[in-house]
Structure 1
Amino acid sequence: MGGGGKETPRQRMIGMMYLVLTALLALQVQNEVLEKFYFIDASLQDAKEVGLSTNSKIITSMSEQIKDSGSNPRDLAVLKKANDIKEESAKMIERIQEIRKTIITEMGDIDPETGAYPMGDKYDDVNRLMLGTGESQDGFAFKLQDELNAYVAKIAAIDDTLGPILKGANLMPLAKEKSEEPRYQSPKYDGMEWEHINFQNTPMVASLAVLSQLENDVVKVETKSVDAMRGRIGEFQIKFDKVSAMASAESNTVAAGTKYKAKMFISATSTTLSPKMSASGAGAVRVDGDGVGTVEFTASGGTTEGAKKTWTGSITIRNAAGEDTTLVVKQEYTVVSPVIEIESGTINSLYLKCGNDLKVKVPALGVDYNPSFSASGGSVQNGSGGKGSIIIVPTSASVSLSVSSGGNPIGTKKFKVKMVPKPDVKARGLNIKQGGACPRSITLDAIADASFKDQLPKDARYRVSGYTVTLARGRRVIGSANSNGPTANISSLGSKAKEGDRLVIEVKGVQRMNFKNQVENVSVGQVIITYPITQ
């Protein structure tokens, strides 16, 4: 980078990005490198807009200052030159934007799903568009070099002071030939000129980044020139007709344990001011580039619901006489207790020793909601549904769930605990009322209560673990068979069965698999099923 005065941090950042861009262009481009060009191009576009916006604000402020001081003709002439500089720069940037749009139109816009240009790594079309075909030299790059240098020459001609300033900042000429630019002296650029160095065999996304850098070079010319014009109307100070301190809160009602946020600012603020701000409860206040401070502190709970509280802020600025002036602002806000909301199939009661899924919300906290939980009368663990999703496993007749956010207690929610309803045991495929032939096997199903299964399907998985089948004739026992699972083979009883006999099925055990895939025995009491043999 050349001389020409101390550069701003933004200008130094852009210069560093240009060095990175130049280095990346010299690499054998891989996908990982191409990704960096996306970021560089986007950052350079953002930097360009910031620079243009800043220059516009400076020119507007110049106009206001000249008006306040009586609209001196000499100052008005200087203001016209600043506007002429702005107009010529806008034309040059518009020209570069036209080239960008042509490349994007012919090679494809960013894919909204992948966030990448479909031909971002291709350069054949870039060669054709920027360098032309064959020896024709009808590509954009050949004209663009001349247009950039003609632009900076026009800027220098607007005022006699601008030429030396731009040359001292190494901005004139703007698109330098190989012999004029130290960065182009590497042997790899032998036999190449400006247009080939910047665009030959350059992937699409890298070409866009190069064009973005050229736009930032134009912005730098504009910035240097506008700043010089500003200096022509004397030391730049903003005058205020009326000064008042103001504050704007995101909400004047805030829940205990949450962040109170407000904007505190001067109603006639300017980018040239550097106000110092502080607020009770927040200490020093961070002030952004537009002179706006953000007040943020944790609201403490009130002694009553809807407690009114007040914070006080101070803004210190230096007036036109060079003296510090402090303005005071007071803002009232209301502290309320946040409401805990529970989402579940049944929120008033939970099931004992089951994984009850809950979604705990505290709407008043908004994006500041950072929950943690504890429980008495049971255990609590994180669920799979994201922030606020939990699983409560009750171990007693009631559970108290305590909710905190960011380490600040929010409140407690109490739940009643219900016993798990017993399942029904039924013989699959057997008509118990009418009876029938003696089957060769029997399968018993343990069927969960419908409402329990709807709420906690992972805890409603049952199986019959054992039972006895007895073949009875009157009061006599003809034979019996045992099962250690849901199905029993009773073919030995079938050969002995006669019409009028009956099968007596006595359930010995039922098991339940819970949400952790753990098996436990379930007490179902005495369950006896009688099946009459009618044929």
Structure 2
Amino acid sequence: MSGGKETPRQKMIGMMYLVLTALLALNVSKEILNAFVIIEEGLNTTNVNFDDKNGILYSKFDKAMADNKVKTAPWHKKAQDAKKMSKELCGYIDEIKSEMYQRIQKLEKTVADTFQLKNLDSKDENNIPTEILIGAGAEPENPTGKAKDLKEKIEKFKKEMTALVPEKERSVLKLGLSTEEMYSIGDEKMVSWASNMFAHQPAAAVFSVLAKLKNDVKNAESDVVSILLKSITADDFSFDQVVAKVVAPTSYIVAGEEYTADIFVAAYSSTQDPQILIGAVDTTDKKNPKIVGTGTPVPVAAGLGKYTTRTSAEGLQEFSGIINVKAPDGSYKGYPFKGDYIVARPSMAVSPTKMNVFYIGVENPVDISVAGVAPADVVATVSGAGGSIQNKGQGHYIVKVTSGNECSVNVSAKNAKAGTSKSMGAMKFRVKKVPSPQASYAGVTGDGKVSKGELLNAGGVIPKLEDFVFDLKFPVISWNMSVFVNGVYADYTAQGASATGQMKDILAKVKPGQKVLIEEVKVQAPDGVRKIVGCVLKIK
């Protein structure tokens, strides 16, 4: 009867069922029957919670379909198949329950479909359940009733659910729902599954068994769908940083020529450095390009390689190399690259201290200089994006922008003697919002494991924006915490960064293996209130 991954609550209910069955074999009073009512109600509550939990998984599948339909579709179909199989098997169990209520309580089907065990008058009735499940006049070891069909459906369900998951995951998948022979406490010997579960058992016990079977079915559905959801990205490279990039064939353009550039989003891992080598690349085997010789290594820190070389000759300079990245299966995949740059004599220079991006709501430092002109005679203005520029002296400036996607820094040089001013050119900058931080709780950002002690000692939610050029603070406005504890779904909201008393009380009850979800985190960003990515904590 047990499922693949039982919670402490499920284990307790299962143990209570075994004890009560043993007591029934000793003809203990009907208080024991009423105890089965409590067990059945608890199992029904757990089944509702499983529906909520599985609903969250299917919502994540829907989001994945919206984000990348082609990649998600095969796994989404399997998840829908699992959902359908679970619904059909649970529906068959409900049909058995309804038939039993109809015959024992003399009810119409429409009433029996929603009838509750606590209202059953004859909880100790054992002939009707035996006739329905074992079969009238049939031997418990060779049933002809619905227990035979139920066993076949369970075995088919397990086989088809197992076939849905990738083969490499099947060895760790434990669906439970055993239909093997069991030891009967009453008979003191091994008996068939049908005999042990249903033969001459009182109605209260049979209804509890059926509720437990539904519990195991929904638990199996949850395990399978979780694996399918994880499989969407199983072969993906793991990246934790995403940045915008502009790559142009050249950044040196003669007046009147056309400028072109590729603008895209680049992702990289700040925790797993690739190997970058400069040198000629052999691409004869396009699937496995290699550097010729040993190559010159490029220093890599936090996932980013910094190629530095001293220039001498003017004109076009070219270089090539390869980036070796570790794949999810542990092998390395090579990505060849080529680059070039032009070396020219300096004339006017605008050197953005922190890339060619201005961020809304923060002070963006910029160094501006013009060859042969004193810093005091350099005049800089900003056009577009509601921008302004402040001269801090010695060629250092602060630029502030409030809106838009692009602005220009315009530079001119004054000729104090002649009383004139000459334009030296302009440089365009992208205008962007400050990236959103990620919520961190008990030192975990994204998904991670945490001890119960660390969880209880954590003061609250901390927004973290790592590897960003500015040191910014994001005050927390509100956030939400949800967790299943003892089979009950708990959901709380806090104002400010600190956890509430209710949150701390419920966290004190979590067990190893359970997950705590930190969601709906709202913070105050430089440009207004934002909702940021939460985190998932798994208790060690």
TM-score norm. by structure 2 comes to 0.42
Larger Rg over CA atoms: 1
